[in-house]
Chain A
Amino acid sequence: MVDMTQLLQSLVNGVGVGLIYGLVGIGFCVIYNASGIVNFAQGVFVMLGGMVCHTLLTRLGLPIYLAAILTIPIVALSGILIEIAVVRPMWNRGAALFAIILATLATQLMIERITILTLGDQPRSFDEFTSGGPLKIGDIAIGYQIFWILGCGALMVGLLWLFFTRTTAGRALRACSQNREAAALLGIPVSRMLMLSFALSAALGAVAGILVTPTQVTAYNVGTPFGVNGFIAAIIGGFGSAAGALAGGVLLGVLQAVAIVMFGAGFKNVAALSVLLLVLFIFPAGIFAGLQGGKAH
């Protein structure tokens, strides 16, 4: 019989990691809405977020808040590089959809290998942002990092909402997502918007990576699981709505946590991937399809 405390504990952990999946999922949606491209290298930003932050912490001895704030633009730059060097040339030549997907997949493998060559292949981690904890409610322990994830997740969604509704660039991005030709006719530089979406999406991934690393370890190969789980979160949310992706992420995180309690940690990725296939087969428009009122905000 499954222990009740253990189940609740894993639910708490599941919500934490699920929010991270949600952030990655939003990253998928930002690029997809601007361009119709699914960036299979999305998970690599999460990996880079954790790895770059760890490097800044240990090699330069920076305090965590400074390291975190510096990491975000560095990873965003990597997103811009991917856009300029890989996606834009293919986009301009009208490459087939699966050729672009393949190119982003190859880019992910390339960045992973470069990470091994420069930073090594050993897993690493850094301390939680606030020492002390965990908070005890009965027998359930809630690490302080989860509150950071909750707070920063909410902050990111709030900032994104402000960006998409209150700024010219954000509105231009939404215009691109609705109709690229019309947006171009209105004088919106569509290709620069594509670059902006990659930078934004990479920054989101970096935030997710920085937030999640203290609760587990990061290594060159964490990108694929985060990327796939983020994609699943985006699909559950109907691909396109940020709130849907976040909800999808939490749902997936909780499902995975329950799967770990039931079947052991080894098969948690198999469980998540099976959920992906089931969602694709049964609800190809997303579980929250009805809630998908406004796109990209």
Chain B
Amino acid sequence: MTSRATTFTRRVATTAAPVALVLVVLLLALNSNGYVVTIVGFAAIYGIFCTGLNFFMGYTGQASFGQNAFAALGGYGTAILTATYYWDPVAAFFVSMIFAGIVAAIIGYPTLKLRGHYLAMATFALGLITYEISIEWIDLTQGYMGYSGIPPLGVFGFELATEKQQLVALALLLLLGVWISTRLRDSRFGRALRSIAGSEPAAQALGVNVARYKLAAFVIAAMYASAAGSLFAHFVGFISPEVFGAAMVIQSFTMLFLGGIGTTWGPVIGALIVSMLPEVLRGMHLKELQDVAYCIILVSILIFAPKGIFALIGEGVAAITRRRATETAPSAAAAQAAG
């Protein structure tokens, strides 16, 4: 068993530091111009998306190439309900989220029985189907032209008019999302998910209902994705099918793998770094060239650092704390290595 004191120091190291980082980035963004605010806003939205994806791919060890489908559900749900039917943004947000969750449960039930490349292709197909529908069902989605006139985020009639106000809201929602993810990761539920990632037969033998937990992780990921889609719609005020296309899949995977798949804060840090990339790649004026750069970065990470840079730092920190912990409780080291 891990002693109370080491648990506390670990919690400070793994929670307080990233929270501080998010707050520092938020403060820096609030004191700079509109462009930086936009970039950090996108980072927060993608951070929420990737945190959700991490439940399914990181904790549970499954593959989904179609989470963009649920972001599209959230984005279009919010766009249609708020811009056309003048719903309150909060109501539209939750209705879209619940809808995405129900769709994920219905579709996930047969899909998650598949394995390996069949699962990958089936989920990829989900994203493609949503993409095609968002182009073709023009009466509902306005097709290629996209949906404009989406109001900014607001609560019960109080509208967050400026981008900076919205950014604060996004950062708070991101922290909430990661907090849920952190709490769930070390709960009975999170341990069950991670046992599936370790070995499905072993998890089954330990009494974990593998199918049910996989579905739960899939639904959670879909709800996070829907939330990210809704927030994107509010933040930009405009969505089109391209926003939720295959490039979104590649970009979110780059974030997830760069930050470190399966860690609680990796997705957020990955989202932040990758969102800054356009600034670094400022010399590349063409969107296509930036996409090429994303792909090269993603493939390089997949080849050379499949656990991500955050995991690399985490291993260093763990090595130091382990040396200290072995003196008091030898089994704590094993617990830390496992966690």
- How distant is the Cα of A109 from the Cα of B306 in the complex, in angstroms? 20
| B283 close to A (CB within 8 Å) | no
| A294 close to B (CB within 8 Å) | no
**B302 in complex: contacting residue of A99, A276, A284, CB < 8 Å:** A99
Q: Which residues of B contact A103 (CB under 8 A)?
A: 298-299, 302-303
A-contacting 9-mer, from B79-87, B122-130, B215-223 = B122-130
Please give me the residue from chain B that is nearest to A268 by CB atom.
B132
Nearest Cβ distance between residue A208 and chain B, in whole angstroms? 19
- A101–B63 contact, CB under 8 A? yes
Q: Which residues of B contact A228 (CB under 8 A)?
A: 121, 124-125, 128
- A270–B63 contact, CB under 8 A? no
B-contacting 9-mer, from A90-98, A160-168, A179-187 = A90-98
Nearest Cβ distance between residue B259 and chain A, in whole angstroms? 15
| B296 close to A (CB within 8 Å) | yes
- How distant is the Cα of A2 from the Cα of B306 in the complex, in angstroms? 54
- B121–A281 contact, CB under 8 A? no
Interface class of chain A by DSSP: helix
- A98–B118 contact, CB under 8 A? no
Q: Which residues of B contact A89 (CB under 8 A)?
A: 303
- B302–A277 contact, CB under 8 A? no
Q: Which residues of B contact A266 (CB under 8 A)?
A: 136
Give B133-146 as 1s and 0s: 1 = Cβ < 8 Å from A's Cβ atoms: 10010000000000
**B299 in complex: contacting residue of A97, A106, A117, A277, CB < 8 Å:** A106
Nearest Cβ distance between residue B288 and chain A, in whole angstroms? 4
**Number of A-B pairs, beta carbon distance below 8 Å:** 117
- A280–B118 contact, CB under 8 A? yes
| A224 close to B (CB within 8 Å) | yes
| B208 close to A (CB within 8 Å) | no
| A231 close to B (CB within 8 Å) | yes
- How distant is the Cα of A110 from the Cα of B295 in the complex, in angstroms? 6
| A66 close to B (CB within 8 Å) | no
- B117–A101 contact, CB under 8 A? yes
Q: Which residues of A contact B124 (CB under 8 A)?
A: 40, 105, 228
Give A239-276 as 1s and 0s: 1 = Cβ < 8 Å from B's Cβ atoms: 00000000000000000000000000011011001101
- A95–B122 contact, CB under 8 A? no
| A102 close to B (CB within 8 Å) | yes
- How distant is the Cα of A181 from the Cα of B117 in the complex, in angstroms? 22
- How distant is the Cα of A86 from the Cα of B133 in the complex, in angstroms? 32
- A117–B286 contact, CB under 8 A? yes
Nearest Cβ distance between residue A41 and chain B, in whole angstroms? 11
Query: Which residues 15-58 of A sit at the B interface, judged by CB distance below 8 A?
Result: 38, 40
- How distant is the Cα of A90 from the Cα of B296 in the complex, in angstroms? 14
- A98–B63 contact, CB under 8 A? yes
- B306–A96 contact, CB under 8 A? yes
Please give me the residue from chain B that is nearest to A90 by CB atom.
B303
- B246–A224 contact, CB under 8 A? yes
- What band does the interface of chain A fall in when counting residues whose beta carbon is under 8 Å from B? 35 or more
| B65 close to A (CB within 8 Å) | yes
Please give me the residue from chain A that is nearest to B289 by CB atom.
A117
- How distant is the Cα of A102 from the Cα of B300 in the complex, in angstroms? 12
**A277 in complex: contacting residue of B57, B117, B125, CB < 8 Å:** B125
- How distant is the Cα of A96 from the Cα of B58 in the complex, in angstroms? 13
* Given contacts A102-B65, A274-B129, A38 and B121 within 8 Å (CB-CB): yes
Query: Which residues 103-119 of B sit at the A interface, judged by CB distance below 8 A?
Result: 110-111, 113-114, 116-118
Query: Which residues 242-295 of B sit at the A interface, judged by CB distance below 8 A?
Result: 246-247, 249-250, 253, 257, 286, 288-289, 291-292, 294-295
Q: Which residues of B contact A90 (CB under 8 A)?
A: 302-303
- How distant is the Cα of A96 from the Cα of B116 in the complex, in angstroms? 10
Q: Which residues of B contact A117 (CB under 8 A)?
A: 286, 288-289, 292
Nearest Cβ distance between residue B116 and chain A, in whole angstroms? 6
- A270–B302 contact, CB under 8 A? no
Q: Which residues of B contact A270 (CB under 8 A)?
A: 129, 132-133, 136
- A102–B136 contact, CB under 8 A? no
- How distant is the Cα of A231 from the Cα of B302 in the complex, in angstroms? 24
Query: Which residues 73-128 of A sit at the B interface, judged by CB distance below 8 A?
Result: 86, 89-90, 93, 95-103, 105-107, 109-110, 113-114, 116-117
* Given contacts A109-B295, A276-B121, A267 and B306 within 8 Å (CB-CB): no
| B173 close to A (CB within 8 Å) | no
Q: Which residues of B contact A97 (CB under 8 A)?
A: 63, 116-117, 120
* Given contacts A102-B302, A280-B118, A273 and B250 within 8 Å (CB-CB): no
Give A212-238 as 1s and 0s: 1 = Cβ < 8 Å from B's Cβ atoms: 000000000000100010010001000
- How distant is the Cα of A114 from the Cα of B302 in the complex, in angstroms? 21
Q: Which residues of B contact A274 (CB under 8 A)?
A: 129
Most chain B beta-carbon neighbours within 10 Å: one of A98, A117, A280, A284: A98
Q: Which residues of B contact A269 (CB under 8 A)?
A: 128, 132
- How distant is the Cα of A114 from the Cα of B249 in the complex, in angstroms? 19
Give B38-80 as 1s and 0s: 1 = Cβ < 8 Å from A's Cβ atoms: 0000000000000000000100000101000000000000000
What are 7 A-B pairs at a CB distance below 8 A?
A38-B120, A40-B124, A102-B298, A113-B295, A228-B125, A280-B122, A284-B118
Besides the known contacts A106-B302, A284-B118, 5 further A-B residue pairs in the complex with CB atoms under 8 A apart: A99-B306, A101-B65, A103-B299, A105-B250, A113-B288
Binding site for A on B (CB under 8 A): 57, 63, 65, 110-111, 113-114, 116-118, 120-122, 124-126, 128-129, 132-133, 136, 246-247, 249-250, 253, 257, 286, 288-289, 291-292, 294-296, 298-299, 302-303, 306
Binding site for B on A (CB under 8 A): 38, 40, 86, 89-90, 93, 95-103, 105-107, 109-110, 113-114, 116-117, 224, 228, 231, 235, 266-267, 269-270, 273-274, 276-277, 280-281, 284
Shortest 10 CB-CB contacts between residues of A and residues of B? A98-B63, A110-B295, A38-B117, A266-B136, A113-B288, A106-B295, A281-B110, A89-B303, A273-B125, A113-B291
